[in-house]
Structure 1
């Protein structure tokens, strides 16, 4: 396989969202001197024939071939409109989409996907494909959405876990590259009226502030030019992050966490962030 270590891989399916992902990835790749790989899967178009046991009509191969070429051609046009002169490769493969994406993610710098799609990557953020890509890809996964605040900061969810530390490091790098500030958010569940009445709120806030300080310490020294805002919120993590997504250009989260982010990509929090965030979400898994 082609060396993808300095490459952003983009899943293409013919949807407008996938084209937006290609444009976003092209902009990032151009700024960081990376290459781009646009890939689509033709396997879903053959699935109906294989499942029924019927032979694939000879004309179907030509039609599917042309469809894949058209989809990749549209994506190439979008890339050229954003980053003329950027080096990129296009390919279509008859392989199950999740397997294709995860295989390429083994060596890629980043995987970029549209916020929703059709065809080979249909239902991307509504079912197992999204969960598999975000939770299991070996490289960071960007789920691309036009930001409500294109000039906003990078926002990172922090919970003190090792995975959160990886995500926070990636968020600092993103903020430095983009020349914007970083908002580090630690959110816990919303306290009950009883807890507030008993005075438990203040110690909990102090614990959150200490956790943020510990998580940020070394990274702030490594990136002295990145201005950091520390935010503690006594609400559900997904609510806090969704709120910040309306003011951010990028939201960075770990694939799994603890405390406030426990099981984040396995349940309702994952669905809320991937489906409803108002900006691109970058999901980072721990390395090694």
Structure 2
């Protein structure tokens, strides 16, 4: 674990993964490791020590910085041990303990990575209903695509469904999300499912909107099918509550990608999907 890195390491493509000693953090490491193996990129394991963050309990207690640093070193060491046990080359792994606001610093570091992977830590009970502040902040501000994964909602191994889903709105369609979905499908040898949800609040007119949206998406993905004949591209338009529909969709896919439009905050629907998804969630601006 180092405070600085050689320039030649910083210049190589890397997958950045944030760890905090939790099961979700290790889940993120396993996911990032598979990406690094399949893409030939390096792995960058980071723990961010927030010396000002209190430890929640009956009273807020601020721990001594040296205790937090030791905990961070232990989290990184555990992650590196997991990576080594999988046979990943040691020269392609960097581990660091840094000081700052975890979400903000991971977002800043993401400018030097091809992908950021974070765990959505949740202790249990009502906390499972909400997205952790670190993963949310990182997802909101990251300069690269982000994968959020949780051991609580995704305890099983991922990657055996053979389907990557991209949830899109129709005005406008998020092209970066579609492009990322295609890349993921090609790399995985998977099908690509383009999903749009028509809110059930449209009532009896909903069926008409479903038909129109289906026709519009089919027309939009036609060139995509021509460019990538090796990828089976499916269009699925659903009528219902967006969060419920996409969470249900997540049960049958390896990755659910959501596009976030530039300068937009993460709205309630995206937060809801992040909190309850049964598959890893990808976010891209």
State whether TM-score is above 0.5. Answer: yes
Aligned length: 262
The verdict on how the C-alpha distance between 1:65 and 1:134 changes in structure 2, with shifts beyond 3 A counting, is: closer
Bigger relative CO (Cα 8 Å, ≥ 6 apart): 1
Residue of 37, 44, 67 corresponding to 1:63: 67
The partner residue of 2:160 within 134, 138, 151 is 151
| Alpha-carbon shift at residue 29 of structure 1 (Å) | 0.5
1:231 counterpart = 2:236: yes
| Change over 3 Å in CA distance of 1:210–1:7 after alignment to 2 | same
C-alpha change, 1:8 and 1:250, in structure 2 (3 Å) is same
Q: Deviations over 1:159-196 (max 9, x none)?
A: 13556221111111101111111111111111555x2x
Query: Mean Cα displacement is larger for which, 138-147 or 213-222?
Result: 213-222
How far 1:218 sits from its partner (Å)? Answer: 2.8
Distance 1:13 1:136 in 2: 19
Q: CA deviation at 1:151?
A: 1.5
Are 1:166 and 1:254, in contact at CA under 8 Å, matched by a contact in 2? yes
Structure-to-structure mapping, 1:5-20, within 5 angstroms: 6-20=13-27
- Cα drift, residue 155 of structure 1: 1.0
Given the two structures, how large is their TM-score scaled by the length of structure 1?
0.80
Gaps of 5+ in 1: 49-55, 258-262
TM-score calculated relative to the size of structure 2:
0.81
Match of 2:105? 100
The residue correspondences of 1:112-131 to structure 2 (distance < 5 A) are 112-116=117-121, 126-131=131-136
Say yes or no: does 1:75 pair with 2:79: yes
Residue aligned with 2:178, SS: helix
Which is further off, 127-136 or 92-101? 127-136
Aligned to 2:44: 37
Long gaps (5+) in structure 2: 55-61
